[in-house]
Chain A
């Protein structure tokens, strides 16, 4: 049982005096947290959650959906007590554990065995509890042979499997899951879903955050849709998901990018249009994994700028996989229209959900503009041409080009 009453969370932006942070770090942080784009009357502070009232009865599963920066992750952080609310109150019955990111706290130098005890106690299990579940944890992860090897020698797949296996054995009354399904291969994702289903079936409460509507639909009885920190809609899963999808379909990729483009260069370089695969202007589209993805952005600059490079960022599960540039070396942009073309090569993804971000930099004065999550692409592999990407250490030869009118 969870009861949330009038919950507010404010982040202060200007107050965090941090003299040791370089401009670059400050910049990349800005890039990666689109929630700061939100229109807020006080530039020094920002409400990540506004007056959330929500209750989840015991044994029910609640899905949380919404755009990036809508406050989903903040709500989970407040629920799992990582950060304190500014106003309001939450009442919870029973223990809570969260799968915000599996493997946090693993130490690379320690063996699998030692990490089971370390991570298990970080997740709130007692030594005795870990001892009694130890064999199950190891066999569930399928790494019996390597249990005494330092985890730094593990493959990324083994690492994630062990971490998930420990987390899955915690057995809390309330389980919080955020996008873990974005990591790992398909069979791993299926296992995660299965485990969450078990937890939900056994009468415990689950809160699940995901952009994957199919997963939300199959797991949750109720869904809460967050929009800019507020609860926009709460109700039965299918109703809320269809409302949400309708609202997304109503915005085109160009509109989103124009609305979300932020930074001190955004007033000078404006996005005119954004096209994916020549003609599509949709926010969400599906492509075959063995075909290239072409993204074409038309910009309008109101000034002559000397050293400019435009970028396309490719993200998956909130992680930047790679960034493409339209030109290899920063070059001049004259006042007027110009077009940047990016090509994401074929056979990089298997079945994946990727999110594109677009923007650029001006290197003389260090100005930039950036919009995240402007296009979502689902890549589909038909099995025959699927390229294994489990070891995700690929070399990517994307390309870009620019033309000026």
Chain B
């Protein structure tokens, strides 16, 4: 059996080589994701309950402030259900973005000591967000049941929307992870950016709340389609396909930009980190 030949030179590896290599390291992705999931609630008294407590309390506060006091409409859906369905998506998105962004800087030792495709590190962090997303989805079903709402057949589309969220997280997250290696400023930018971002995403208000003339602005936000889409598949309301298509297109463009930037920056990681 002849041994595989490796060539190391100053050139970038081709997309095909990178994908083959990524495939050969696929087990590492799942092992790192599993590590993060296992470690997440270690040495906490409440454990996984935190994945439930956080969104439920946010829901309570938002319902009180925006539902009761500010009387923001919710397209005829009980406000707690409405806002919780938005939070399910938003929390997955924002938690994954921020863990992606910090992932490389947090793995300094590994990056400067061992070789494997660097993209694995940010990729694996999304696993934790996904588990929380699944838990929150279960909780949403319970809250819906409390309000006498029954999930519709459309719920089988949920995995497709989860994939959509994953694509937008990956595009933005890879770019942020790579740039944080050089400019640690982004450790301050990211939380701040995400905070503002939530308010321009239809989490606490429906898209219909925005005047018709400005609605196109909402569609430029890659998360809009996923928030309104997931809400629709849970509650069986008509899916806003325009929002979903535009989110998908924008997410794919961001993914392309993110991956290209990451691959270009990757060579420097071990020297700069």
Contacts and interface: CB of A to CB of B under 8 A. Distances in A.
A84 B7 contact: no
Contacts of A11: 271
Interface stretch (A15-23, A260-268, A331-339): A15-23
Interface in B1-53: 2-10, 27-28, 31-32, 35, 38-39, 42-43
Contacts, number: 111
A168 interface: no
Contact of B3 (A79, A117, A123, A173): A173
Nearest to B180: A20
Contact of B113 (A18, A92, A93, A100): A100
Interface in A106-154: 107, 109-110, 114, 117-118, 121-124, 126-127
B237 interface: no
Contacts of B152: none
Contacts of B184: 18-21
A81 B267 CA distance: 10
B196 interface: no
Nearest to A150: B42
B113 A85 contact: no
A104 B111 CA distance: 9
B10 A84 contact: yes
A85 B10 contact: yes
Nearest to B110: A105
Interface string A47-81: 00000000000000000000000000000011111
B115 A80 contact: yes
Contacts of A277: none
Given A77-B270, A109-B43, A19 B183 contact: yes
A91 B5 contact: yes
A89 B27 contact: no
Given A91-B6, A94-B4, A104 B42 contact: no
A98 B3 contact: no
Contacts of B5: 91-93
Contacts of A234: none
Contacts of B112: 82
A114 B8 contact: no
Interface in A223-242: none
B185 A19 contact: yes
B28 A88 contact: no
Nearest to A93: B3
Contacts of A88: 9-10
A30 to B, nearest CB: 16
B29 to A, nearest CB: 9
B272 A16 contact: yes
Nearest to B111: A82
Contacts of A93: 2-6
A278 B96 CA distance: 61
Contacts of A221: none
B182 interface: yes
A64 B242 CA distance: 63
A276 to B, nearest CB: 33
B110 A92 contact: no
Given A109-B39, A121-B27, A79 B114 contact: no
A259 interface: no
A113 to B, nearest CB: 12
A101 interface: yes
Contacts of B270: 77, 82-83
B241 interface: no
A88 B8 CA distance: 8
A90 B7 contact: yes
A20 B31 CA distance: 31
Closest 6 CB pairs of A and B: A20-B184, A94-B3, A90-B8, A81-B115, A104-B113, A83-B270
18 contacts: A11-B271, A16-B182, A18-B184, A19-B185, A82-B112, A82-B114, A85-B9, A85-B10, A91-B5, A93-B4, A93-B6, A98-B115, A105-B109, A107-B39, A109-B39, A117-B31, A118-B32, A123-B114
